[in-house]
């Protein structure tokens, strides 16, 4: 216990000695803290004010020297402020805000008058040129227009048709018999020039008389000539065959044909016509000559070319 008391006593003594060494003999400007320092103590009456320095003797006036130019701008001293601690001033070169030169003031912007009036243009512009409709493009390249040609220009023709007709038999004695029935036609042609077609033409008729059925079919080399754009004439020659079914009779003879027609409808590659033809064939039967005529009135035929 005695050791602890002795150690504590020594510690107190050292602490007091250290505090005495840190307190200065003369208090500085920071000893009193913020605020104005207290007035200095006046010396006692009769006490010497302290050593004095004798004034220097007057000497000869110094030679004039070159004038020293004053600094261009001397910063104004900053007024004392309570914001600084006692004994401290503003930083070096500091100038109070009111010491700055006044800011430059810009007046109102200049006002501009109205722009000058410009007269009309020295020359007038006409209307823009007109352009036609834009062509329609099916793909990258424009469509090629089809070749213009006459409707009667038919390099190749095929067609056929049926209608009303009949057969007429004339023997050597001048006796004749006539029977109506059905007529038919077919053709395959090649164009020699526009309006002129060379064709293989088939003309025939079939009739019924009692229990017998008679028919005649002619195979002809024919020409078809257009008179204008719709009306045509045709004629040819060739061979014909007559048949009678109940007797199983058939014979061949020479034949000639003539006809006329008109195309009612004409398309780009087809047409519909109505025509009438008559074909005569001569046969020799058991030493006797017979003439058979097959005719059509009218026959409707369709043609492709």
Contact 274, 242 (CB under 8 A): no
Has this prediction a pTM greater than 0.85?
Answer: no
Could you tell me which of 174, 166, 168 has the C-alpha nearest to residue 288? 174
Q: What is the pLDDT of residues 10-46, one digit of tens each?
A: 777 767 666 656 555 555 554 455 555 555 555 544 4
Q: What is the pLDDT of residues 227-281, one digit of tens each?
A: 999 999 999 999 999 998 877 778 899 999 999 999 999 998 999 999 999 999 9
Burial class (CB in 10 A: 0-12, 13-18, 19+), 73: exposed
Query: Up-side HSE of residue 61: CA atoms within 13 Å toward CB?
Result: 3
Tell me, what's the pLDDT at 285? Answer: 79
Give domain limits for the chain.
156-304
What is the torsional sign of CA 113, 119, 125, 128?
Answer: positive
Architecture field, domain 156-304: Beta Barrel (2.40)
Provide, for the chain, the percentages of residues in helix, strand and coil under a 3-state DSSP scheme, each rounded to the nearest 5.
Answer: 10, 40, 50
């Amino acid at each position: 216990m005695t050791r602890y008391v002795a150690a504590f006593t020594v510690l107190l003594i050292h602490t007091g000695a250290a505090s005495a060494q840190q307190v200065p003999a003369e208090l500085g400007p920071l000893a009193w803290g913020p605020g104005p320092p207290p007035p200095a103590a006046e010396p006692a009456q009769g006490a010497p004010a302290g050593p004095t320095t004798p004034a220097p003797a007057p000497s000869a006036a110094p030679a004039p020297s070159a004038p020293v130019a004053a600094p261009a701008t001397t910063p104004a001293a900053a007024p004392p402020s309570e914001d600084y601690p006692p004994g401290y001033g503003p930083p070096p070169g500091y100038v109070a805000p009111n010491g700055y030169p006044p800011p430059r003031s810009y007046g109102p912007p200049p006002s501009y008058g109205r722009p000058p009036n410009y007269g009309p243009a020295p020359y007038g512009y006409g209307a823009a040129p007109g352009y036609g409709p834009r062509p329609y493009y099916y793909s990258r390249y424009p469509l090629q227009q089809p070749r213009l040609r006459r409707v009667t220009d038919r390099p190749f023709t095929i067609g056929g048709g049926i209608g009303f007709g009949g057969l007429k038999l004339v023997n050597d004695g001048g006796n004749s018999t006539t029977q109506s029935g059905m007529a038919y036609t077919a053709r395959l042609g090649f164009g020699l020039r526009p309006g002129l077609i060379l064709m293989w033409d088939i003309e025939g008729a079939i009739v019924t008389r009692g229990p017998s059925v008679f028919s005649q079919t002619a195979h002809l080399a024919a020409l078809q000539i257009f008179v204008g754009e719709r009306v045509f004439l045709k004629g040819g020659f060739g061979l014909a065959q007559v048949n009678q079914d109940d007797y199983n009779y058939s014979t061949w003879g020479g034949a000639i044909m003539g006809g006329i027609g008109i195309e009612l409808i004409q398309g780009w590659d087809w047409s519909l016509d109505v025509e009438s033809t008559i074909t005569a064939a001569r046969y020799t039967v058991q030493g006797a000559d017979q003439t058979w005529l097959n005719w059509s009135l009218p026959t409707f035929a369709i043609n492709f070319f």
